[in-house]
């Protein structure tokens, strides 16, 4: 393992002003997104949509550091025969790959899930590396509810995350470690803070046990936010203050950077939260974005599956990418959204 090279890639992934496009929706998820805009989820439509994003020159070269791909996409070619992964490389962004195989029910823990996909992962990583992937992603899902999460769910998922990360580094691939505490419940921000703190502490404990080099990874956590159904929604300032405090308490300074998931926040909310955190002054690690829906909802709607709308889709994507790029430096302002509109 060449740690210097892993660290170089991890640092490039969280470079100020740039962030990661999560374009790794599973077939089921992208179908839901396409249903919402009245587009049939065929292999060709999925390819055309992602090709539109990857050919969006301004967004890709100026604001996107890396792209997380789904297995289907990494092997696909653009309409003109160019491999999609090449379009990403040519823009200066780094190609990555989602390697987990989704979740299944965790035995003896009703209502809790464990992420699967460790079997034969070493062989898959080798193939992905040969294809050009230089980082990978694995998502663990922790739900907050009545009596959950259990310590079992936190431990099992942290253990799997660390095993995945160690396998990645052995294959010369930077692991994005993504322990996501969901925002679906009616819990308040303090409950989210407490659970996320337990999850992060356990995750870093496992990473150390399995000898993962912290300098060669990127963390992709949730922010400390109120549950969607909570009557009292925390303000932008409170989310920023509590999330930064949480990260300072749980994330070692050796980690090059933190790329947040948007986790169901609206486009502008996700941008405002990231910006407010970066305005809180010098931090031990870079703080940027690894958004899926918060970068793609607008371009999906603008495109709506029509070839004539490709330019409009790219404009919408460039705008969101630029807003988040500014937020990753604490330079965003809500008035910039109004100007574009």
Q: Where in the sequence is the domain holding 309, given as residue range(s)?
A: 3-340
pLDDT of residue 301: 96
Q: 115 phi and psi, to 5 degrees?
A: -85, 140
Among the listed residues 317, 337, 328, 213, the one whose alpha carbon sits nearest the alpha carbon of residue 279 = 328
Q: What CATH number should be reported for the domain holding residue 109?
A: 3.20.20.70
**How many structural domains comprise the chain?**
1
Its pTM surpasses 0.95 = yes
Among the listed residues 56, 66, 51, 89, the one whose alpha carbon sits nearest the alpha carbon of residue 19 = 66
pLDDT of residue 233: 96
pLDDT of residue 22: 97
How far from the centroid of its chain's Cα atoms is residue 171's Cα? Answer: 21
In Å, what is the CA distance from 183 to each residue of 98, 136, 225, 274, 304? 22, 24, 7, 17, 28
Alpha helices in the chain (DSSP H): 3-13, 27-36, 43-54, 57-62, 71-74, 84-90, 121-131, 151-170, 189-209, 236-250, 267-278, 293-303, 310-327, 334-340
Q: In whole angstroms, give the CA distance from residue 285 to residue 268.
A: 23
Active-site residue, from 25, 51, 112, 178: 178
Q: Is 43 a catalytic residue?
A: no
Active-site residue, from 18, 98, 137, 220: 220
Q: In whole angstroms, give the CA distance from residue 322 to residue 195.
A: 32
pLDDT of residue 303: 97
| Paired tokens of 183 | 């925002």
Q: Is 51 a catalytic residue?
A: no
pLDDT tens string for the chain (341 positions)? 999 999 999 999 999 999 999 999 999 999 999 999 999 999 999 999 999 999 999 999 999 999 999 999 999 999 999 999 999 999 999 999 999 999 999 999 999 999 999 999 999 999 999 999 999 999 999 999 999 999 999 999 999 999 999 999 999 999 999 999 999 999 999 999 999 999 999 999 999 999 999 999 999 999 999 999 999 999 999 999 999 999 999 999 999 999 999 988 999 999 999 999 999 989 999 999 999 999 999 999 999 999 999 999 999 999 999 999 999 999 999 999 987 65
In Å, what is the CA distance from 60 to each residue of 55, 65, 160, 293? 8, 8, 32, 17
pLDDT of residue 338: 81
Contacts of 85 (CB under 8 A, 6+ apart): 69, 74, 95, 131, 132, 133
């Amino acid at each position: 393992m060449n740690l210097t090279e892993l660290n170089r890639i991890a640092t490039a992934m969280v470079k100020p002003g740039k962030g990661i496009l999560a374009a790794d929706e599973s077939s089921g998820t992208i179908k839901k997104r396409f249903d919402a805009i009245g587009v049939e989820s065929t292999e060709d439509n999925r390819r055309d949509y992602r090709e539109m994003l990857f050919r969006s020159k301004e967004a890709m070269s100026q604001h996107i550091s890396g792209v997380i791909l789904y297995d289907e996409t990494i092997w696909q070619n653009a309409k003109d025969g160019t491999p999609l992964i090449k379009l990403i490389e040519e823009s200066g962004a780094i190609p990555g790959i989602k390697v987990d195989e989704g979740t299944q029910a965790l035995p003896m823990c009703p209502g809790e899930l464990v992420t699967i996909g460790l079997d034969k992962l070493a062989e898959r990583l080798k193939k992905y590396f040969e294809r050009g992937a230089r980082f990978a992603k694995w998502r663990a899902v922790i739900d907050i509810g009545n009596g959950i999460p259990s310590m079992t769910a936190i431990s099992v998922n942290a253990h799997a995350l660390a095993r995945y990360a160690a396998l990645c580094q052995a294959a010369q691939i930077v692991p994005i470690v993504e322990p996501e505490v969901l925002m679906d419940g009616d819990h308040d921000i303090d409950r989210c803070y407490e659970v996320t703190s337990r999850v992060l502490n356990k995750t870093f404990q496992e990473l150390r046990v399995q000898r993962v080099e912290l300098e060669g990874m990127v963390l992709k956590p949730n922010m400390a936010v109120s549950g969607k159904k909570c009557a009292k929604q925390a303000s932008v300032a409170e989310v920023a203050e509590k999330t930064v405090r949480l990260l300072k308490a749980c994330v070692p300074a050796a980690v090059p950077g933190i790329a947040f998931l948007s986790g169901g926040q609206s486009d502008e909310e996700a941008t405002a939260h990231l910006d407010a955190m970066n305005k809180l002054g010098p931090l031990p690690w870079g703080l940027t974005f690894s958004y899926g829906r918060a970068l793609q909802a607008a371009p999906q709607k603008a495109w709506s599956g029509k070839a004539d709308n490709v330019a409009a889709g790219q404009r919408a994507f460039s705008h969101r990418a630029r807003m988040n790029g500014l937020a990753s430096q604490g330079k965003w302002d809500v008035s910039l959204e109004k100007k574009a509109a």
